[in-house]
Amino acid sequence: MPQPTQKQTNRESLLAQGVMLLTQQGYHGTGLKEILDAVQIPKGSFYNYFGSKENFGAEVIQYYIAPFIQQLNTHLQNPELDALTAIKRYFGELVSELEKADFKGGCLLGNLMGELGDTSEIVRASLQAAVEDYRDLLRDGLEKAQQEGTVRTDKPAEELADLLVNTWQGVLLRMKIEKSSLPLKQCCANLLDDYFKS
């Protein structure tokens, strides 16, 4: 496999730093200088990579969601797990990670939806694409679970996936103000262990 170029490495560093700072401080609370200083890249170079802070925000969203999609997909592709168990295991890992982070940050998507969802068309479109990609993978997993007989079939898998994504985003906000994983665990128990079950 070829080694990444310096440009690719710099771009990756900027995106990783963007995820961290935007999650902690929000879009408006994070200056470009702060990001550039952290990765020691001159300001002029930033515009060669992204063109604008808005474009950067949109790309940070895609960079942020990719590992979650990969993590969920890895569980769903595990031949030793049925689909519902795979989804439950995935959300269990998320809860553990949030507990380890002391409930700070929450979800970058949810944070930016509240901050920029109706003010930046570029960021809104990126958020929508990220949520739909995530929802679609959950839908595929729930469809498989329906075929396996573990999830109810009187509602479409896409409707169940939307409900799970929407509820999860809400409980992440509740988690932040309560500094507790209880809302997260209640969401998983109420949906995955009860409402979704066949």
Q: pLDDT at residue 7 above 80?
A: no
Supply the pTM of this predicted model. Answer: 0.88
What is the C-alpha to C-alpha distance for residues 175 and 42, in angstroms, rounded to an integer?
37
Query: Among 28-37, 108-117, 135-144, 151-160, whose mean pLDDT is lowest?
Result: 108-117
Mean pLDDT lowest among 34-48, 119-133, 148-162: 34-48
Residue 6 clears pLDDT 80, i.e. is over it: no
Query: Cα–Cα distance between 145 and 152 in angstroms, integer?
Result: 9
Sketch out the chain's domains with CATH numbers: 54-195 (1.10.357.10)
DSSP 4: P
Residue 154 has pLDDT above 70, yes or no: yes
Read off the amino acid at residue 185: K
The angle subtended at Cα 179 by Cα 118 and Cα 138, nearest 5°, is: 55
pLDDT digits (tens, 9 = 90+) for 12-47: 889 999 999 898 888 888 888 888 888 888 877 888
More confident: 160 or 7: 160
Judge whether residue 105 has pLDDT over 80: no
User: Residue 69's pLDDT is what?
Assistant: 95
38-43 contact pairs (CB < 8 A, 24+): 39/10, 39/13, 39/14, 41/10, 41/13, 41/14
